[in-house]
Structure 1
Amino acid sequence: MVIMIHQMRAETGPTGATDSVVSWHIVRDADLTALCGRELAADAPLQDATRWTVDPDHNCHTCGALFLRETPYLPDEHTG
């Protein structure tokens, strides 16, 4: 089984300023191409993929759907 490590990489505004995050995307490992196909800057801010639920209004919907398909569902993580 291949285990992929996902990260969130920011799409920044036209100036590239790290404080102007337009949207968060999911990338595999340290790739610069998001799951949705968007090319992202190498110096764009990164976050751990576990933060995907923190601010859903700023996340790429397509990346999120593809991320869920690549991430295993572990029932033990969802017990009450």
Structure 2
Amino acid sequence: MGERRGRRCDPMRHVVRAEYRYDAPDEVKTWHMVRERRNGEIGHVAMCGRRLREDAETRPGTEWGRTDEVFCHSCGALYLREVPSQPLGA
């Protein structure tokens, strides 16, 4: 848990969401990071601002960097600023 202005705040939750090549759901072009909303819903606008399909595949945020397809560099930079550092493989 983090501290902000003297009060506790919950860590932000993140989800990896697919961007498809040619809108084909079987061919992932790039993975993006999406913030989970406070109500538990998963958004469809990536941290880089790209709008993704609402029905696009999602994976836990811990999958960041662990797939064969590339990840959005901008999402990665923003994500790394929001999550506490953890050893690789954790």
In which range does the TM-score fall when normalised by the shorter chain?
0.7 to 0.9
Contact 2:44 2:54 in 1 (8 A): yes
1:25 aligns with 2:32: yes
Could you tell me which residue of structure 2 aligns to residue 54 of structure 1? 66
Report % sequence identity. Answer: 41
Aligned with 2:14 (options 6, 10, 22): 6
Aligned Cα root-mean-square deviation (Å): 1.7
Contact 2:31 2:69 in 1 (8 A): no
SS in 2 for 1:67: helix
Segments of structure 2 that go 5 or more residues without pairing to the other structure are 1-8, 37-41
Contact 2:11 2:83 in 1 (8 A): no
Bigger CA drift: 48-57 or 27-36? 48-57
Aligned-partner Cα distance in 1 for 2:43–2:84 = 20
Aligned-partner Cα distance in 1 for 2:68–2:10 = 27
Instruction: Compare CA radii of gyration and give the structure with the larger one.
Output: 2
SS in 1 for 2:12: coil
Q: Runs of 4+ in structure 1 displaced over 2 angstroms?
A: none
Once the two structures are superposed, residues 15-46 of structure 1 have per-residue CA deviations (whole angstroms, 9 ceiling, x without a partner) of x3321100000000111110000000001000
Aligned-partner Cα distance in 2 for 1:57–1:22 = 7
